[in-house]
Structure 1
Amino acid sequence: MVGLDLDGTLLNSKKELTPFTKEVIAKAINKGVHVLVATGRPFTGVPLELREFPGMRYALTANGARILDTATGEILIEHLLSKESAKKALEITEKYDTLQEIYFDGQGYAKDEKLAHVERYHKDCNMWEYVRASRIAVPDIWELFYSREENLDKVQALFADMEERKAAWEELSECKDLNLVSSLKYNIEINAAGVNKGKGLIALGKMLGIEREEIMAIGDGDNDIEMITEAGVGVAMGNAEEAVKCNADYVTGTNDEDGAARAIVKYVLGGGEAC
């Protein structure tokens, strides 16, 4: 099994899936390998061509809070953020200049006024279109929050000011029922305590009868560290943060060099060194 992060890993800087990468994924699937996205995004935020990629049966989303069978829509593994915990996270992050997002049942929601100025909070212009297209704009986050009875996939806050982000991180860290990660240098992703991509990937492997040693994980951000250390083979992208590289078994090329696909060639397709 191969678990693939999306942003900074499988997708290039323009948020594209290259023809070479698609070809390599297809070859791995045809070889009998389970290839899946392992992302902090909700399922609705996964590019359609990956949601419908032939033979890509499973998806790990919201940092492992939801793992689903994409063919049937069945939720296989679910570890959600309680309403009580989510409320604390929202109360803390709303003190700052943030774009707050809440995720229910694989869908992200954000306040319409903040979403209209996404460029203030997302520093990467290649993310603007994706965010606007994948989030549902609502006039009031709290009204939506209280109107839903179910627990949440996760909460996310994107910060206009990095000093404010640092202060919010410190405050959120005191809440032991929360797990904090950051796939971007300017965001905080908030899941239930104990949720991470590594646990999710290993749990899915057990369900499918796949040993830890038969699992490869590829990523670039700090929300990928657990799955890179948990997997039998952990691969860091060439553009990964240093902490990710330090925990990896192998460092491949960057996401603009088809690094993830080249790691699959090396370890799965038997292509030797992929440069």
Structure 2
Amino acid sequence: MRYKVIAIDMDGTLLNSKERISEKNKDVIRKAEKRGIKIVLATGRIFTSGLHYAKGLGIDTPIISCNGGYVSNQDGSQVLYKNPIPTEIGEKVFEVGKEEGMYYHFYNENTFFSTGMTKATLKYYENNQSLQGKDKINIEVVDNPVEVIRNKNIDIFKITFIEDDKDKLMSFREKISRLNGIEIASSWYNNFEVMNEGVSKGTALRELCNILGVKKEEVVAIGDNENDISMFRFSGLSVAMKNGVEIAKKSADVITDTNDENGVGNAIERYVLNN
């Protein structure tokens, strides 16, 4: 099989534990691109954050961001697909979060809206210090999220709830899953993320492949977490990271090395370049 597209998750996959792309991963990805293989970054992060890492690869890569809610070419000049959360559904999600006293933040394509100055918010501020121009993420701390989405008339692509108390998080996830019109996935041990119904990385990857004229059998997907499983189901070859969660590893065709052991580069060499 000649693979034509490789979709790669970022956190826990392409990025090592220091949130950097190793030289080995960069080198192998560039070799794949030179062979005519389209590299796609697929992240739960805001588009602007994906853009920063795409530039670091030095190649032209479409970016699937916000867990599949927003897909654009690398410079952001052409939106290839988007599927935002309807305002009325977003308001319901905010309402339930407020009732339960949960912290959450939410994104459009370039702005991080936070309901408080938490570690997550401060991390974005810190990351901004080393970024320039369009790489910087707009950050807004808001008291009333409902007013934001009503008055600013903006698209919201993802709402992320964070809670270190696992029992509280799972109980709240169960409660919010009763709402109609939403999709839920997790990208980290202490969070879950809400998107519009039907939105996932896999759906976005399918839409992108339709645009590129690529069959699902010609796609490789590499990831580490629950929100990557939809890509695994769509792809011809699914690769889970050794450091990934069990449900992701059980859903994949093969398992590669960890994100600190160049797992992405090793998998592309083994299953694509040398196959």
The two structures have a TM-score, normalised by structure 1, of 0.88
Aligned: 1:85 with 2:89: yes
Q: Which residue of 2 aligns with 1:154?
A: 158
Q: Tell me the equivalent position of 1:118.
A: 119
Structure-1 separation of matches of 2:109 and 2:124:
22
> Counterparts of 1:175 and 1:165 in 2: how far apart (Å)?
16
Separation (CA, whole Å) in 2 of partners of 1:139 and 1:64: 25
Give the gaps of 5 or more residues in structure 2.
130-135
Moved >6 Å (runs of 4+):
none
Aligned CA distance change for structure 1 residues 97 and 135 (closer, same or farther; 3 Å): farther
- C-alpha displacement at 1:95, in angstroms? 2.9
1:99 equivalent in alignment to 2:103: yes
Structure 1 residues not aligned, in runs of 5+: none
Does the C-alpha gap of structure 1 residues 141 and 104 become closer, same or farther in structure 2, counting only changes over 3 Å? Answer: farther
> What are the Cα deviations for residues 20-53 of structure 1, in whole angstroms up to 9, with x where unaligned?
1111111111111110110111111226242464
When residues 26 and 226 of structure 1 are mapped into structure 2, their CA distance, relative to the original with a 3 A threshold, is: same
Aligned sequence identity (%) = 30
1:58-73 alignment to 2 at 5 Å? 58-71=62-75, 73=77
TM-score, length-scaled by structure 2: 0.88
CA RMSD of aligned residues (A): 2.3
Task: Evaluate the alpha carbon distance shift between residue 49 and residue 162 of structure 1 in structure 2; reply closer, same or farther with a 3 A threshold.
Answer: closer
How far residue 99 of structure 1 moved from its aligned partner, in angstroms, is 2.9
Question: Does 2:178 correspond to 1:174?
Answer: yes
Whether the 8 Å contact between 1:156 and 1:188 is mirrored in structure 2 is: yes
- Aligned 8 A contact 1:67 1:75 in 2: yes
Residue equivalent to 1:20 = 24
Give the distance between the partners of 1:24 and 1:63, measured in 2 at CA: 25
Q: CA deviation at 1:164?
A: 2.0
Count of aligned pairs between the two proteins: 264
Q: Secondary structure at the match of 2:259?
A: coil
| 8 A contact 2:124–2:137 mirrored in 1 | no
The aligned runs of 1:1-275 (5 Å cut-off) are 1-46=5-50, 48-51=52-55, 53-71=57-75, 73-111=77-115, 114-115=116-117, 117-118=118-119, 129-130=126-127, 134=137, 136-142=139-145, 143-270=147-274
Report Cα offsets for 1:99-142 as digits up to 9, x if no partner. 3112123422113xx22x316x99xxx88844997460324242
CA contact (8 A) 1:97 1:161 kept: no
The separation in 1 between residues aligned to 2:102 and 2:55, in whole angstroms, is 29
Moved more, 25-34 or 140-149: 140-149
